Amino acid sequence: MPRPFHVEGAGQWTVTPSEGVRRGTGRILGMLESLLALDGLVLLRDSVEWEGRSLLKALVKKSALLVYHDLFRDPLNWSKPGKAHPGGPLEALRDLDKRTGSGPATIALDSLSWLLHHLPCPTLCQTLHALSRQDSCPGDSPPGEQVRVLGLLHEELHGPGPLGALSSLAQTEVTLSGTMGQASAHILYRRPRQRPIHQTQWFSILPDFSLELQVEPPLESRPRSDPHTPSVDPTTHLTFNLHLSKKEREIKDSLTLPFQFSSEKQQALLRPGLGQATSHIFYEPDAYDDLDQEDPDDDLDV
Protein backbone atom coordinates (compact mmCIF):
# COMPACT_ATOMS: atom_id res chain seq x y z
CA MET A 1 0.00 0.00 0.00
CA PRO A 2 1.54 3.30 -0.95
CA ARG A 3 2.58 5.55 1.90
CA PRO A 4 3.96 9.06 2.00
CA PHE A 5 7.38 8.88 0.48
CA HIS A 6 9.95 9.24 3.19
CA VAL A 7 13.41 7.85 2.84
CA GLU A 8 15.93 9.59 5.01
CA GLY A 9 18.66 8.78 7.43
CA ALA A 10 20.32 5.54 8.17
CA GLY A 11 18.60 2.26 8.17
CA GLN A 12 15.51 2.83 6.08
CA TRP A 13 14.59 0.16 3.64
CA THR A 14 11.94 0.14 1.00
CA VAL A 15 10.62 -2.78 -0.99
CA THR A 16 8.86 -2.06 -4.23
CA PRO A 17 7.37 -4.52 -6.66
CA SER A 18 8.66 -3.12 -9.91
CA GLU A 19 6.51 -3.37 -12.98
CA GLY A 20 8.09 -3.88 -16.32
CA VAL A 21 10.92 -1.44 -16.01
CA ARG A 22 13.01 -3.45 -18.41
CA ARG A 23 12.67 -2.26 -21.98
CA GLY A 24 13.38 -4.19 -25.11
CA THR A 25 16.72 -4.08 -26.83
CA GLY A 26 17.28 -1.61 -29.63
CA ARG A 27 15.82 1.36 -27.75
CA ILE A 28 17.87 4.15 -26.19
CA LEU A 29 17.35 3.87 -22.46
CA GLY A 30 17.15 6.87 -20.19
CA MET A 31 19.63 7.03 -17.38
CA LEU A 32 17.26 5.81 -14.68
CA GLU A 33 15.88 3.03 -16.85
CA SER A 34 19.32 1.77 -17.73
CA LEU A 35 20.29 1.76 -14.07
CA LEU A 36 17.20 -0.26 -13.21
CA ALA A 37 17.46 -2.58 -16.21
CA LEU A 38 19.93 -5.01 -14.73
CA ASP A 39 19.17 -7.21 -11.76
CA GLY A 40 21.42 -7.65 -8.83
CA LEU A 41 23.07 -4.97 -6.76
CA VAL A 42 23.21 -1.34 -7.88
CA LEU A 43 25.77 0.46 -5.76
CA LEU A 44 25.52 4.26 -5.40
CA ARG A 45 28.74 5.74 -4.05
CA ASP A 46 28.49 9.30 -2.81
CA SER A 47 30.60 11.72 -0.82
CA VAL A 48 30.02 14.62 1.56
CA GLU A 49 30.16 17.16 -1.24
CA TRP A 50 27.99 15.24 -3.74
CA GLU A 51 25.21 13.47 -1.95
CA GLY A 52 23.47 10.50 -3.47
CA ARG A 53 20.26 10.24 -1.49
CA SER A 54 18.24 12.24 -4.00
CA LEU A 55 19.38 9.95 -6.84
CA LEU A 56 18.32 6.99 -4.72
CA LYS A 57 14.92 8.59 -4.20
CA ALA A 58 14.61 9.24 -7.94
CA LEU A 59 15.38 5.58 -8.66
CA VAL A 60 12.89 4.39 -6.07
CA LYS A 61 10.25 6.70 -7.47
CA LYS A 62 10.89 5.25 -10.92
CA SER A 63 10.26 1.77 -9.55
CA ALA A 64 6.54 2.40 -9.10
CA LEU A 65 4.83 1.17 -5.93
CA LEU A 66 6.42 1.52 -2.55
CA VAL A 67 6.28 -0.47 0.66
CA TYR A 68 8.14 1.24 3.43
CA HIS A 69 9.95 -0.28 6.39
CA ASP A 70 10.76 2.19 9.11
CA LEU A 71 14.08 1.42 10.71
CA PHE A 72 15.08 5.05 11.18
CA ARG A 73 13.17 5.54 14.37
CA ASP A 74 14.71 2.83 16.49
CA PRO A 75 17.20 0.59 14.73
CA LEU A 76 19.06 -0.53 17.82
CA ASN A 77 16.09 -1.10 20.09
CA TRP A 78 16.88 1.68 22.56
CA SER A 79 13.35 2.82 23.24
CA LYS A 80 11.05 1.00 25.66
CA PRO A 81 8.96 -0.77 24.56
CA GLY A 82 11.24 -1.60 21.66
CA LYS A 83 9.73 -1.07 18.27
CA ALA A 84 12.62 -2.56 16.37
CA HIS A 85 12.87 -5.99 14.83
CA PRO A 86 13.82 -8.42 17.61
CA GLY A 87 16.68 -9.91 15.67
CA GLY A 88 18.29 -6.61 14.90
CA PRO A 89 19.02 -5.17 11.48
CA LEU A 90 20.44 -8.43 10.11
CA GLU A 91 17.29 -10.41 10.74
CA ALA A 92 15.17 -7.61 9.29
CA LEU A 93 17.29 -7.74 6.16
CA ARG A 94 16.95 -11.50 5.88
CA ASP A 95 13.20 -11.24 6.33
CA LEU A 96 13.05 -8.98 3.30
CA ASP A 97 14.50 -11.85 1.33
CA LYS A 98 11.68 -14.16 2.32
CA ARG A 99 8.98 -11.58 1.86
CA THR A 100 9.75 -10.77 -1.73
CA GLY A 101 9.11 -14.27 -2.93
CA SER A 102 6.27 -13.17 -5.15
CA GLY A 103 7.00 -11.12 -8.20
CA PRO A 104 9.91 -8.90 -9.20
CA ALA A 105 11.00 -6.48 -6.54
CA THR A 106 13.30 -3.58 -5.92
CA ILE A 107 14.87 -3.22 -2.50
CA ALA A 108 16.42 0.14 -1.64
CA LEU A 109 18.87 0.30 1.27
CA ASP A 110 19.68 3.66 2.84
CA SER A 111 22.38 3.27 3.75
CA LEU A 112 24.82 0.44 3.28
CA SER A 113 27.32 2.44 5.32
CA TRP A 114 25.12 2.13 8.38
CA LEU A 115 24.88 -1.62 7.84
CA LEU A 116 28.65 -1.90 7.37
CA HIS A 117 29.20 -0.11 10.68
CA HIS A 118 26.92 -2.46 12.56
CA LEU A 119 27.45 -5.78 10.84
CA PRO A 120 30.66 -7.56 9.93
CA CYS A 121 31.50 -7.10 6.26
CA PRO A 122 31.40 -10.82 5.26
CA THR A 123 27.94 -11.23 6.82
CA LEU A 124 26.62 -8.22 4.97
CA CYS A 125 28.11 -9.37 1.68
CA GLN A 126 26.60 -12.83 2.07
CA THR A 127 23.18 -11.40 2.90
CA LEU A 128 23.29 -9.01 -0.06
CA HIS A 129 24.38 -11.81 -2.34
CA ALA A 130 21.48 -13.95 -1.16
CA LEU A 131 19.08 -11.02 -1.55
CA SER A 132 20.03 -10.30 -5.12
CA ARG A 133 20.00 -14.02 -5.92
CA GLN A 134 23.10 -14.01 -7.98
CA ASP A 135 23.71 -17.69 -7.50
CA SER A 136 20.72 -18.83 -9.45
CA CYS A 137 21.35 -19.58 -13.08
CA PRO A 138 19.13 -17.70 -15.50
CA GLY A 139 17.27 -20.86 -16.37
CA ASP A 140 16.43 -21.93 -12.83
CA SER A 141 14.36 -19.18 -11.32
CA PRO A 142 11.20 -18.10 -13.08
CA PRO A 143 11.46 -14.70 -14.77
CA GLY A 144 9.18 -13.08 -12.22
CA GLU A 145 11.59 -13.73 -9.35
CA GLN A 146 14.23 -11.17 -10.29
CA VAL A 147 15.26 -8.93 -7.44
CA ARG A 148 17.07 -5.66 -7.71
CA VAL A 149 18.89 -4.14 -4.73
CA LEU A 150 19.76 -0.41 -4.66
CA GLY A 151 22.34 0.43 -2.02
CA LEU A 152 23.67 3.84 -0.98
CA LEU A 153 27.27 3.82 0.22
CA HIS A 154 29.24 6.74 1.64
CA GLU A 155 32.73 6.44 0.27
CA GLU A 156 34.74 8.29 2.91
CA LEU A 157 33.51 6.16 5.78
CA HIS A 158 35.10 2.89 4.80
CA GLY A 159 38.49 1.53 3.93
CA PRO A 160 39.45 0.03 0.60
CA GLY A 161 38.64 -3.53 1.76
CA PRO A 162 34.89 -3.23 2.35
CA LEU A 163 34.54 -0.83 -0.58
CA GLY A 164 36.23 -3.30 -2.90
CA ALA A 165 34.15 -6.20 -1.60
CA LEU A 166 30.85 -4.41 -2.17
CA SER A 167 32.03 -3.09 -5.50
CA SER A 168 32.81 -6.59 -6.73
CA LEU A 169 29.32 -7.73 -5.71
CA ALA A 170 27.64 -4.99 -7.67
CA GLN A 171 26.28 -5.42 -11.18
CA THR A 172 26.10 -1.67 -11.63
CA GLU A 173 28.21 0.88 -9.86
CA VAL A 174 27.44 4.61 -9.86
CA THR A 175 30.04 7.01 -8.48
CA LEU A 176 28.85 10.56 -7.87
CA SER A 177 31.09 13.53 -8.32
CA GLY A 178 30.89 16.81 -10.06
CA THR A 179 32.53 20.07 -10.92
CA MET A 180 31.55 23.72 -10.86
CA GLY A 181 28.25 23.07 -9.18
CA GLN A 182 27.17 20.43 -11.70
CA ALA A 183 26.76 16.82 -10.58
CA SER A 184 27.93 13.87 -12.61
CA ALA A 185 27.53 10.13 -12.32
CA HIS A 186 30.17 7.75 -13.55
CA ILE A 187 28.38 4.47 -14.24
CA LEU A 188 30.02 1.10 -14.66
CA TYR A 189 27.86 -1.72 -16.02
CA ARG A 190 29.01 -5.27 -15.49
CA ARG A 191 26.92 -7.56 -17.64
CA PRO A 192 27.59 -11.30 -17.43
CA ARG A 193 29.87 -12.58 -20.18
CA GLN A 194 30.36 -9.08 -21.59
CA ARG A 195 32.95 -6.42 -21.21
CA PRO A 196 32.27 -3.78 -18.56
CA ILE A 197 30.84 -0.55 -19.97
CA HIS A 198 31.72 2.88 -18.62
CA GLN A 199 29.45 5.86 -19.01
CA THR A 200 29.49 9.39 -17.60
CA GLN A 201 26.30 11.40 -17.30
CA TRP A 202 25.84 14.98 -16.11
CA PHE A 203 22.49 15.41 -14.43
CA SER A 204 20.43 17.17 -11.84
CA ILE A 205 17.43 16.11 -9.80
CA LEU A 206 14.29 18.22 -9.91
CA PRO A 207 12.23 18.83 -6.77
CA ASP A 208 9.75 16.14 -7.76
CA PHE A 209 12.58 13.58 -7.93
CA SER A 210 12.65 13.24 -11.67
CA LEU A 211 16.00 13.35 -13.38
CA GLU A 212 17.13 15.95 -15.87
CA LEU A 213 20.21 15.36 -18.00
CA GLN A 214 22.60 18.25 -18.36
CA VAL A 215 25.28 19.15 -20.84
CA GLU A 216 28.84 18.60 -19.75
CA PRO A 217 30.35 21.88 -18.56
CA PRO A 218 33.44 23.09 -20.47
CA LEU A 219 36.68 21.49 -19.40
CA GLU A 220 38.68 24.57 -18.57
CA SER A 221 37.34 26.34 -15.54
CA ARG A 222 38.20 29.95 -15.69
CA PRO A 223 37.79 32.06 -12.61
CA ARG A 224 34.72 34.16 -13.20
CA SER A 225 35.89 37.73 -13.77
CA ASP A 226 33.85 40.30 -11.98
CA PRO A 227 32.06 42.38 -14.64
CA HIS A 228 31.71 45.35 -12.32
CA THR A 229 35.35 46.23 -11.86
CA PRO A 230 36.76 47.78 -15.07
CA SER A 231 40.26 46.71 -16.05
CA VAL A 232 42.78 49.34 -15.13
CA ASP A 233 45.97 50.09 -17.06
CA PRO A 234 48.69 50.26 -14.42
CA THR A 235 51.11 52.37 -16.55
CA THR A 236 48.91 55.45 -16.78
CA HIS A 237 49.79 57.32 -13.60
CA LEU A 238 53.51 56.80 -13.23
CA THR A 239 56.20 59.40 -12.77
CA PHE A 240 58.50 57.65 -15.21
CA ASN A 241 58.00 56.58 -18.79
CA LEU A 242 57.46 52.91 -19.51
CA HIS A 243 56.44 53.27 -23.13
CA LEU A 244 58.70 52.95 -26.19
CA SER A 245 58.43 55.03 -29.33
CA LYS A 246 58.45 53.33 -32.73
CA LYS A 247 62.08 54.12 -33.45
CA GLU A 248 63.18 52.93 -30.04
CA ARG A 249 61.30 49.72 -30.57
CA GLU A 250 63.05 49.10 -33.89
CA ILE A 251 66.45 49.64 -32.39
CA LYS A 252 65.59 47.33 -29.54
CA ASP A 253 64.43 44.55 -31.86
CA SER A 254 67.51 44.68 -34.04
CA LEU A 255 69.93 44.44 -31.18
CA THR A 256 71.88 41.19 -30.93
CA LEU A 257 72.44 39.95 -27.48
CA PRO A 258 76.06 39.59 -26.38
CA PHE A 259 75.90 35.96 -25.36
CA GLN A 260 73.65 34.73 -28.09
CA PHE A 261 75.41 32.32 -30.40
CA SER A 262 74.43 33.31 -33.91
CA SER A 263 75.78 32.04 -37.22
CA GLU A 264 77.93 35.15 -37.72
CA LYS A 265 79.74 34.50 -34.50
CA GLN A 266 80.23 30.88 -35.41
CA GLN A 267 81.88 31.80 -38.71
CA ALA A 268 84.09 34.38 -37.03
CA LEU A 269 85.39 31.81 -34.60
CA LEU A 270 85.98 29.06 -37.13
CA ARG A 271 87.88 31.23 -39.56
CA PRO A 272 90.41 33.55 -38.02
CA GLY A 273 90.11 36.98 -39.64
CA LEU A 274 92.90 38.98 -41.31
CA GLY A 275 93.65 41.13 -38.32
CA GLN A 276 93.94 38.25 -35.98
CA ALA A 277 97.17 36.34 -36.12
CA THR A 278 97.71 33.45 -33.78
CA SER A 279 99.15 34.88 -30.64
CA HIS A 280 102.70 34.17 -29.62
CA ILE A 281 104.30 34.41 -26.27
CA PHE A 282 107.88 35.72 -26.22
CA TYR A 283 109.71 34.70 -23.10
CA GLU A 284 113.30 35.55 -22.24
CA PRO A 285 114.45 33.81 -19.06
CA ASP A 286 116.87 35.85 -17.01
CA ALA A 287 119.83 34.54 -15.03
CA TYR A 288 117.91 33.53 -11.92
CA ASP A 289 115.25 31.51 -13.69
CA ASP A 290 115.82 27.84 -13.51
CA LEU A 291 112.89 26.26 -15.27
CA ASP A 292 112.73 22.60 -14.53
CA GLN A 293 110.15 20.89 -16.71
CA GLU A 294 109.53 18.16 -14.14
CA ASP A 295 109.11 20.56 -11.24
CA PRO A 296 108.02 23.95 -12.56
CA ASP A 297 106.93 25.29 -9.15
CA ASP A 298 110.05 24.17 -7.43
CA ASP A 299 108.35 22.79 -4.44
CA LEU A 300 109.01 19.11 -4.56
CA ASP A 301 111.20 17.85 -1.84
CA VAL A 302 113.16 15.25 -3.70
Partner 1 sequence: MGFSREEYWSGLPFPSPGNLPDAGVDCVFRGKLTLLCDAKTDGSFLVHHFLSFYLKANCKVCFVALVQSFSHYNIVGQKLGVSLTSARERGQLVVLEGLKSAVDVFFRPREEPHPLQFLREASAGDLQPLYAFVRDALEPVDGAEAAWRCPVLLVDDLSVLLSLGVGPVAVLDFVHYCRATVCREWKGNIVALVHDSGDAEDEESDVLLNGLSHQSHLILRAEGLATGFCKDVHGQLRILWRRPLQPTAHRDRSLTYQYKIQDKSVSFFAKGMSPAVL
State the nearest-atom distance from the C-beta of 5 to partner 1, in Å.
14
- What share of residues in the chain are helix, strand, coil (percent, to 5)? 25, 20, 55
- Residues within window 169-188 making contact with partner 1, judged by CB under 8 A: 178, 181, 183
| Pair 151, 7: CB distance under 8 Å | no
Size of the site for partner 1 (CB under 8 A): 31
Identity of the residue, 67 or 157, whose beta carbon is nearer to partner 1 in the bound complex = 157
Which one, of 46, 92, 45, lies nearest residue 70 by Cα? Answer: 92
Helices and strands, counts by H and E, the chain: 8, 9
Alpha-carbon gap, residue 6 to 206, rounded angstroms: 16
Among residues 4, 26, 27, 78, which is the contact residue for partner 1, using CB under 8 A?
A: 78
Dihedral sign of CA atoms 111, 39, 84, 54 in order: positive
Region from 71-79, 141-149, 238-246, 263-271 binding partner 1, contact rule CB under 8 A: 71-79
Region from 98-106, 138-146, 202-210, 277-285 binding partner 1, contact rule CB under 8 A: 202-210
**Burial label, 48 (beta-carbon count in 10 A; 0-12, 13-18, 19+):** exposed
Among residues 22, 23, 118, 129, which is the contact residue for partner 1, using CB under 8 A?
A: 118
Site string for partner 1, 136-155 (x = CB under 8 A): ------------------x-
Region from 46-54, 87-95, 119-127, 232-240 binding partner 1, contact rule CB under 8 A: 46-54
CA distances from residue 62 to 128, 157, 189, 253 in whole angstroms, order as listed: 22, 28, 19, 70
- Residues within window 47-66 making contact with partner 1, judged by CB under 8 A: 48-51, 53-55
Should residue 208 be labelled a site residue for partner 1 when binding is judged by CB under 8 A? no
Please report, as ranges, the residues that interact with partner 1 according to CB under 8 A: 9-10, 48-51, 53-55, 72-76, 78, 113, 117-118, 154, 156-157, 178, 181, 183, 203-207, 212, 214
